[in-house]
Structure 1
Amino acid sequence: MTLQLYGHPFSSYTWKALIPLWADGTPFEFRSVEQHGTEFTELSPFGQFPLLVDDGQVVAESSIIIEYLQRHHPGPNRWIPDGDAGLRVRFLDRVFDQRVMDKATVPVGNVLRPDDQRDPYGDQQARTKLRQAYDWLEQNLPEDGWAVGDTFTMADCAAAPALFYADWVERIGEQRPRLLSYRQRLLAHPAVSRAVEQARPFRHYFPLGAPDRD
């Protein structure tokens, strides 16, 4: 039975799961939650996507989906290496998810609130923490290649959507040339470029207004 991935083309965490599927050439069926919302709701334990279904087995959370794919549907790429390199990949995966992507969603969510329930302080705190994450990454990412050496890993799968959208919320800026260059390399990766193009028709969904770039 073909794998099924439930998600949305504009969703950052859906990108994170799509990138390894495409890069490995793994056969799967993409089911947009806009067309398959009822099925998704019945399957999802927390109502969040992406969600992978493998012959009745439901796998939630993007990082776990990638690890599941490596274990049960391996392809040419090794998304989580063994040893200390694997620990570094997992660590950076958490940094990009929790310190970049999750912080970038705060200003986005804030603008969706009713005017009398918005939180300017929370917005600014999130942006401050996002800039702190940028500064740390600028000092700790390699000057070239990928997040952990020469191999594109789960860390890069997390970094691509996180840095793509976070830069829309809070610009990385020319003062962080290493991080900016890394973002550009990510966007040039074939699987990431495919995710960007697939999401392009949905840019009007971005509540802060999608910039006329990327």
Structure 2
Amino acid sequence: MTLALYGHPFSSYTWKALIPLYASETPFEFRAIGPDQPDNSAFVAASGPAGKFPVLRHDDNTVFEATTIIEYLHLNVVPDAGLIPADPHAALMARKMDRVFDNYVMGNMQDVVNEHLRNPEAPDADRTAEARARLTKAYDWLEHWLADHPPASGVTLVECAAAPALFYADWVLPIGDGRPRLADWRARLLALPAVSRCVEDARPFRAYFPLGAPDRD
């Protein structure tokens, strides 16, 4: 079996695809994207309509989009790892939370980052304020949701989506002491060996974070 993941160690969506591979101890080759790896970059560019990473290559199959990669791993590589709950209703709820983290946490965080990338000297204040306001609403919703949904101890689709989203979102807008359940969950996620490995591998690239990476985590 030839299994390779194309991505960048500082990329949140690359983390999302790496976490299930690390957690399940699945052998694979990581193929980094960058100016020194033109072949890898060319492969990613040709793999999907947007040419974005991560991309999974498994024998003759090419899979893009981090959520789809996790679904593919569940079906074809590590079906016993528990990435998707066996109960159909629980699986539906996991997929719902995956969308919450991608669209309302990661998405709003990325909107702020994009404004700083677009104009580092003077990011649009209204757009960044609106994105942070949306992120605040997502935090508050998650804090309320956690009251009735204690975090799982293992790694499922939900943890794969939540860990990178909350890691970077807290850099853009700190979760703060007023959301103790969410702050505690973030800390527990970062302590998972698979997530901690992603954090450490990405550490050399923190200087590239456009808002300035905080001196923590």
Range into which the TM-score falls when normalised by the shorter chain: over 0.9
Q: What is the CA-CA distance between 1:75 and the residue it aligns to? A: 5.2
1:1-214 equivalences under 5 Å are 1-34=1-34, 35=37, 36-74=40-78, 76-81=80-85, 82-114=87-119, 118-142=123-147, 145-146=150-151, 149-214=152-217
Structure 1 range deviating more: 87-96 or 150-159: 150-159
One-letter amino acid of the structure 1 residue matched with residue 144 of structure 2: Q
1:33 shift after superposition: 0.8
Alpha-carbon shift at residue 213 of structure 1 (Å): 0.1
- In 2 relative to 1, CA 193–111 (structure 1 residues): closer, same or farther, beyond 3 Å? same
> Which TM-score applies when normalising by structure 2?
0.92
Unaligned stretches of 5+ residues in structure 1: none
Partners in 1 of 2:185 and 2:122 — Cα distance? Answer: 37
Structure 1 residues 193 and 115 mapped into 2: Cα distance closer, same or farther (>3 Å)?
Answer: closer
C-alpha root-mean-square deviation of aligned residues, in Å?
1.8
SS in 2 for 1:141: helix
Letter in 2 for 1:27: P
Unpaired segments ≥5 residues, structure 2: none
Runs of 4 or more, structure 1, over 6 Å off, are none
User: Secondary structure of the equivalent of 1:43?
Assistant: coil
TM-score with structure 1 length normalisation? 0.93
Q: Structure 1 residues 4 and 184, CA, compared in 2 at 3 Å: closer, same or farther?
A: same
Deviation at 1:44?
3.6
Matched residue type, 2:216: R
Query: 2:117 touches 2:210 (CA, 8 Å); kept in 1?
Result: yes
- The 2-side partners of 1:115 and 1:52 are apart by 33
User: For residues 175 and 142 of structure 2, what CA distance do their matches in structure 1 show?
Assistant: 11
Aligned length: 212
Match of 1:52, SS?
strand
Q: Rate the CA distance shift 1:210–1:121 in 2: closer, same or farther, 3 A.
A: same
Note the C-alpha offset of 1:114.
Answer: 3.4
CA deviations on 1:123-162 (whole Å, 9 max, x unpaired) are 111100000000000000147852xx44431011100000
Which segment drifts farther, 56-65 or 127-136? Answer: 56-65
Shift of 1:54: 1.1
User: 1:106·1:126 contact (CA, 8 Å) conserved in 2?
Assistant: yes
Cα distance per residue 1:72-94 (max 9 Å; x no partner): 00154211112211111001100
